[in-house]
Amino acid sequence: MPSPPPPPVAAARDGDVRAVARLISLVEDESASLRQVMAALAPHTGHAHVVGITGSPGVGKSTSTSALLRELRALGRRVGVLAVDPSSPFSGGALLGDRVRMGDHTTDPGVYIRSMASRGHLGGLAWTTPQAIRVLDAAGYDVILVETVGVGQSEVEIAGLADTTMVLLAPGLGDGIQAAKAGILEIGDLYVVNKADRDGAGRVSRDLRSMLALAGRRQGGWEQPVLQTVAQTGQGVPEVVAALDQHLAWLRETDTLTKRRSARARAEIEAIAVAALRARWGDVGGHAELESLADGVAAGTTDPYAAADRLLEHG
């Protein structure tokens, strides 16, 4: 078998969209060559503004992503989009729709759109998403929009990955503000009430502002704006882009950007280290030990803590 071609790092940096696609496939496939690829990309990272976009199903995440993409392109910025799919047995259909809606950008070389699937076993999206961001960053995209499909722990993780997290809401989803109580106040750098042409949008905005004020959630001087859009028509979208730019400027001024990116790198390093350990535990040598420990726990002759201690001693 011929040795595989060298990873297309240089081509990706030159703006070759196919080379970018191949690199992200290496990430998704957990390729052995990732190690060299990431080493080659490292010096070129740190320039992109990573924006997480999240919200409940039905708030219009894909339409908003698409509208933002259009606005950013009109300003001449190169944009990467990662649509994060938690690879659910039950959510397979949604992203096809997204891709179709984003189809009008497919011939624009300044745009790269990718649906991320967590096929692998090492650590799922916690592992692949930051590396895909790294690829797009090194490839020179100015803004990377990371859209999460919606429900679950995944978007909380995404909030940790982004420089700026944008939380979408919409009127008429019943428990919009209930949901807000449950946790979105902790993750948003800006809030966008989409479908602002519908009844109740003003109320959602007012309620959210009151709650943010009550919670005193100013993050070291950044007061989270609450904006309104009609993503379908583009109304309010330029204001969202302006707010994203303001947040990035604030992140830079206060050195929060460095702190957030270090935290992101820390999580990434940990995920890779843990994956390496799991692989080691699953290796021929360690395998027998872990298997026999597991048999002992299943049989009730030992407990999982004592077993973990022994794994760490010998692993």
Handedness of CA 218, 219, 223, 225 (dihedral sign): negative
Pick the closer one to a copy of itself by CB: 61 or 69.
61
Shortest Cβ 15–a copy of itself spacing (Å): 19
Please choose, out of 8-16, 105-113, 145-153, 197-205, the segment that lies near a copy of itself by the rule CB under 8 A: 145-153
Instruction: Tell me which of 15, 124, 200, 234 binds a copy of itself, using CB under 8 A.
Output: 124
Phi-psi label, residue 92: left if phi above 0, alpha if psi -120 to 50, beta otherwise: alpha
Instruction: Tell me which of 152, 172, 202, 238 binds a copy of itself, using CB under 8 A.
Output: 152
The pair of three-digit structure tokens given for residue 104, joined into one six-digit string: 């009008």
Please, which of residues 37-96 interact with a copy of itself by CB under 8 A? 38-39, 41-46, 55-57, 86-93
- Residue-by-residue DSSP string for 184-203: IHHH-SEEEE--TTSTTHHH
272 touching a copy of itself, by CB under 8 A: yes
18 touching a copy of itself, by CB under 8 A: no
**Do 61 and 72 contact (CB within 8 A), yes or no?**
no
Please, which of residues 164-203 interact with a copy of itself by CB under 8 A? 175, 178-184, 186-187
Shortest Cβ 163–a copy of itself spacing (Å): 11
CB atoms within 10 A of CB 183: 11
Instruction: Tell me which of 4, 5, 221, 300 binds a copy of itself, using CB under 8 A.
Output: 300
Please, which of residues 208-267 interact with a copy of itself by CB under 8 A? 258, 261-266
Please, which of residues 91-120 interact with a copy of itself by CB under 8 A? 91-93, 118
User: Exposed e or buried b for every residue in 133-156, given b needs 16+ CB within 10 A?
Assistant: bbbbbbbbbbbbbbbbbbeeebbe
Shortest Cβ 107–a copy of itself spacing (Å): 29
Pick the closer one to a copy of itself by CB: 91 or 235.
91
Q: 111: which strand partners?
A: 79
C-alpha to C-alpha distance for 219 and 254, rounded to whole angstroms: 11
Please choose, out of 103-111, 216-224, 233-241, 269-277, the segment that lies near a copy of itself by the rule CB under 8 A: 269-277
284 touching a copy of itself, by CB under 8 A: no
Shortest Cβ 145–a copy of itself spacing (Å): 19
Pick the closer one to a copy of itself by CB: 156 or 235.
156
Q: Where are the alpha helices (DSSP H) in the chain?
A: 9-13, 17-28, 34-41, 61-74, 94-101, 125-138, 154-161, 176-179, 185-187, 201-215, 237-253, 256-281, 284-299, 304-314
